[in-house]
Structure 1
Amino acid sequence: MQVIRFHPATLWRKARALSRELWVRVVFMGLLSLISLGLTQLIQIFVPDEMAAQMPGSSADRLLDLIANAMLAVTIFSMTVMVSVYQSSSSQWTPRVHQLIMQDRITQKTLAAFIGTYLYALVAIILRELGVFVDDHALVLFWVTVLVLGFVVWSLVRWALHLQTFGSLLDTTRQVEVITKRQFEDRLDTPCLGANPLVGEVPEGAVCIRADESGYIRHLYPEALQATAKRFDVELFLSQPVGQFVFLNEPLLWVVGDLDEGATGEDDFETLVRDHINQGDLRSYDQDPRFGLTVMGEIGAKALSPGVNDPGTAIDVITRVGRILSSYRDETKGDGEAQFTRLWVPPLDADALLDDGFGTAMRDGASTFEVQHQLQRTLAGLMQHPDAGLSRAACDAACSALRRALAAIDFPGDRTRLLEAAHPDVRAAVD
């Protein structure tokens, strides 16, 4: 059972998620600074005494004092900027974008570099006071400190360039698009997370395993679920997709097969299965491209609010969503056998994807001609998609959007131009 709990693929997935946390990068840089100080002592052994005596310890002391004084101020300033950007992005665009900005790599690397450098200087000063780095053996310490200063300057330049766009609307929407497109393509490259597509109802006679807490399904560990199903000789049907909110005692998944209640027992099986279906109070971008599309839609809806009144941003969001959905493929028509043959996962639904990305623009921007014009053009383009399911879903969405717009727009000229922008099939269906 422990082999299943600590499946290498599961540990790798958890490690990747953990690496995006700020404190992990800070700890790593702190350890790196301590290791570099230890290496200076090791290298110093091989430096001839006459060469080492040419560099007085006071030279290194001045550099260390400079780093210690400067890094504390720079770190506080950077953290103030980071918190300010987090708060403004949440209030101006959407609170759901907050967790994405918190995982900004350049920001995390810069803060980790500043804190790690500050720790390096403090520890080096303490070691100098304790007599570990004596005046006659400070040559290596001096040149290592020079390298650290060069690293600090490079981090400052990168941070200054990043601040030019950090937290802006353009940068935020681009970040959401990039991560959504990446997760979307990763999902399509491994249809249904490598499992069989669950189409239709769960087989009769399946045993229900219910959720022991309320929360969003944030992440699945299919490798461990496959190993669990193989160990107990059963098949697992996950009726709830990633991103779905599941209430306490609501069906979480279904089991087909006879459970072996010998040494392990059914309770241990259920616990093992629940351990590899991660639930939480917030949705995650991992394995959930629909969440990214929802966030994009919320940014567009915020731009259409009376207080902002920025249809250009809504148009930009529509084009970005259209670009993401252009790579759609039907997960039920994948080539070859599923990687996890004992696991069944619901495929992505084209109608749901379109509603996530365009739903807010259809409803909140129904009376804005520019937004509806771009929406009809984008949906008309998606109707040319080679996948029949997405083409049909785009046609249905275009018809619904056109009906809403024609009911909300009064000016006859705008109504005529909007009809001209729509696909001929949509015009025929609406007329």
Structure 2
Amino acid sequence: MLPVGGGAHVRLRRDVSRTDRKDVAAFHWNLMETSYMRWHMNDILLIPATLWRKARKYSRKLWVRVMFMGILSLIALGITQIIETFVPDSMASRMTGASADRLLNIISSAMLSVTIFSMTVMVSVYRSSASQWTPRVHQLIMQDSTTQKTLAAFIGAWVYALIAIILRETSVFRDEHALIIFWLTVLVLAYVVWSLVRWVLHLQTFGSLLHTTRQVEDITKERFQERLKTPCLGANPLHGAVPNAAWSIESDQSGYIQHIYPEGLNAVAERYDVRLYLPQPIGYYIFLNEPLLWVEGDVTEDDREEFLSLVRDHVNVIDLRDYDQDPRFGLVVMGEIASKALSPGINDPGTAIDIITRVGRILSSYSNEADENSESREGGPELDRLWVPPLKPADLLDDGFGSLTRDGAQLYEVQFRLQATLAGLMRHPDKGLRDAAFDYAEMALRRAVEAMDFAPDRERLLASVDERLRVRVTQT
């Protein structure tokens, strides 16, 4: 070992200290850079429009409503402690704690059994609806607001009573200050009774065919109107292929494009000075490594990882389709209900006829999204760096009428109603829908003429359609 003098030892310590200081400075710089990058990403992920879409999505989940009611119960019990301090002793002493205890015991003992009964009914309705109509309707019934509010009310009341009893036993709520807790419990009981009455009335039609088809129609019509109010989700309409200079972002998993956050995607495009193209519509099944989006513009290698992460965070690829941004999915579900009704085991043409009229009522409100973007908006679309394909009338007709056109081709009453509905759509103001309705009516009529064995039914059906359509089918 070489001897080290005092001077050499000092110089070594200084060198080590300088190295340590450099390492510490580098560590802090990397930490600051990482924190900045996270904030840089979060400021796009926390766009109000994106947060609102996510909040609306989570608000339809049962556990969210139950948790909200449980938290509300805790807040209500905390507020009683504050209010009690302002109640005069002469007024508070008029009510004993035993009165509140009896009501709390009633709630705690009854709500648990009522909740279990309601859950049993809910599960049985879910299963019967999925087996009788279509499994795809199960998602919509699970989001039934009346059912979720009722279960949340029952569980919230049970949580309220349970915690109130614990606080009474621990002398937090004393006998001489039981007035507020008593009247709050009365209000909780009134809310429970009202929820129970509403639940009983709801069970009269819950899960029935009429209620289910009406639910599907309402949610489809609502999403359809939302899409028409914000054409192409507020972005530019994408017609045809993407630009040749664009490069692709591949999907990192297989599944349906269930939901996109267009405001966030447009913000990402603005930050990196690029244009984003989403050629596949919402509801399209995309495979692993298939192009998900196309990008026109250059992104540096240093920013590419963050850019890809931000883009994928704003496009949800899930194993199931959803009603939220996908009005075509609602039309598909309605078509499946009609197809199931036409199966030999059920043989219910009336349901198919009802579905035809409902689909026609939804499609009658159609308007061309590209026209809406170009004419009704001054200065162009709001999201000017994003391109989304518009709804196509031919796809909408096939989604709603495709399965029942095939399965009910031999039934005169079904085909008569289908042709009458398509004839109404052929008079629609939008030329695209008019042409698509005529082409679809021709295809459906050809299929029906070939499928019907009874000649008088074929003649009656041909006589009921437009002359142009009849000539094209009979002469070609």
| TM-score for the superposition, normalised by structure 1 | 0.98
Point out the structure with max Rg over C-alpha: 2
| Structure 1 position 261, deviation (Å) | 3.4
Tell me the SS of whatever aligns to 1:131.
coil
Matched, 1:343 2:343: no
Matches within 5 A, 1:362-377: 362-377=405-420
From 311, 314, 317, give the equivalent of 1:276: 314
Distance in structure 2 (CA, Å) of the matches to 1:267 and 1:2 = 15
Tell me the SS of whatever aligns to 1:216.
strand
From 131, 135, 146, give the equivalent of 2:175: 135
Tell me the SS of whatever aligns to 2:385.
strand
From 294, 297, 315, give the equivalent of 1:254: 294
Matched, 1:352 2:395: yes
Q: Which amino acid aligns with 1:293?
A: L
Tell me the SS of whatever aligns to 1:298.
helix
Matched, 1:38 2:81: no
What's the CA shift string for 1:274-322, capped at 9, x where partnerless? 1100110000111111000000000000000011100000000000000
Matches within 5 A, 1:154-233: 154-233=194-273
Equivalent residue number for residue 23 of structure 1: 63
| TM-score for the superposition, normalised by structure 2 | 0.89
Q: Which amino acid aligns with 1:341?
A: D
Cα RMSD after superposing both structures: 0.9
Distance in structure 2 (CA, Å) of the matches to 1:133 and 1:332 = 64
Q: Contact (CA 8 Å) 1:71, 1:118: kept in 2 or not?
A: yes
Equivalent residue number for residue 150 of structure 2: 110
| Structure 1 position 223, deviation (Å) | 0.6
Equivalent residue number for residue 327 of structure 1: 365
Distance in structure 2 (CA, Å) of the matches to 1:37 and 1:128 = 11
| Structure 1 position 50, deviation (Å) | 1.8
Q: Which amino acid aligns with 1:277?
A: V
| Structure 1 position 234, deviation (Å) | 0.6
Distance in structure 2 (CA, Å) of the matches to 1:227 and 1:325 = 33
Tell me the SS of whatever aligns to 1:205.
coil
- Percent identity of equivalent pairs: 67
Tell me the SS of whatever aligns to 1:299.
helix
Q: Which amino acid aligns with 1:27?
A: M
Tell me the SS of whatever aligns to 1:113.
helix
Matches within 5 A, 1:295-310: 295-310=333-348
From 352, 355, 359, give the equivalent of 1:317: 355
Tell me the SS of whatever aligns to 2:163.
helix
Q: Which amino acid aligns with 1:130?
A: T
Gaps of at least 5 residues in structure 2 are 1-40
Matched, 1:395 2:438: yes
Q: Contact (CA 8 Å) 1:188, 1:331: kept in 2 or not?
A: yes
Q: Which amino acid aligns with 1:387?
A: D
Q: Which amino acid aligns with 1:364?
A: D
Gaps of at least 5 residues in structure 1 are none
Q: Which amino acid aligns with 1:161?
A: L
Distance in structure 1 (CA, Å) of the matches to 2:432 and 2:306 = 41
Equivalent residue number for residue 5 of structure 1: 45
- What is the total number of aligned residue pairs between the two structures? 429
Distance in structure 1 (CA, Å) of the matches to 2:309 and 2:229 = 30
| Structure 1 position 5, deviation (Å) | 2.0
Tell me the SS of whatever aligns to 1:61.
helix
Equivalent residue number for residue 127 of structure 2: 87
Distance in structure 2 (CA, Å) of the matches to 1:300 and 1:397 = 18
Equivalent residue number for residue 386 of structure 1: 429
| Structure 1 position 140, deviation (Å) | 1.0
Equivalent residue number for residue 427 of structure 1: 470
Tell me the SS of whatever aligns to 1:213.
coil
Q: Which amino acid aligns with 1:184?
A: F
Of the structure 1 ranges 44-53 and 13-22, higher mean CA displacement relative to structure 2 is found in 44-53
Distance in structure 1 (CA, Å) of the matches to 2:236 and 2:176 = 69
Distance in structure 2 (CA, Å) of the matches to 1:252 and 1:288 = 17
Distance in structure 1 (CA, Å) of the matches to 2:46 and 2:79 = 34
Distance in structure 2 (CA, Å) of the matches to 1:52 and 1:229 = 63
Q: Contact (CA 8 Å) 1:232, 1:260: kept in 2 or not?
A: no
Distance in structure 2 (CA, Å) of the matches to 1:142 and 1:409 = 72
Distance in structure 2 (CA, Å) of the matches to 1:374 and 1:333 = 30
Tell me the SS of whatever aligns to 2:301.
coil
Q: Which amino acid aligns with 1:197?
A: P
| Structure 1 position 216, deviation (Å) | 0.4
Tell me the SS of whatever aligns to 1:253.
strand
What's the CA shift string for 1:339-379, capped at 9, x where partnerless? 11110001111111000000011101101111111001001
| Structure 1 position 397, deviation (Å) | 0.7
Distance in structure 1 (CA, Å) of the matches to 2:79 and 2:187 = 13
Matched, 1:408 2:451: yes
Q: Which amino acid aligns with 2:317?
A: Q
| Structure 1 position 114, deviation (Å) | 0.2
What's the CA shift string for 1:127-183, capped at 9, x where partnerless? 111011111111111111111111111101111111110010000000000010110
Distance in structure 2 (CA, Å) of the matches to 1:196 and 1:56 = 67
| Structure 1 position 260, deviation (Å) | 3.2
Distance in structure 1 (CA, Å) of the matches to 2:169 and 2:199 = 33
Distance in structure 2 (CA, Å) of the matches to 1:137 and 1:35 = 18
Q: Contact (CA 8 Å) 1:26, 1:111: kept in 2 or not?
A: yes
Distance in structure 2 (CA, Å) of the matches to 1:388 and 1:195 = 22
Equivalent residue number for residue 267 of structure 1: 305
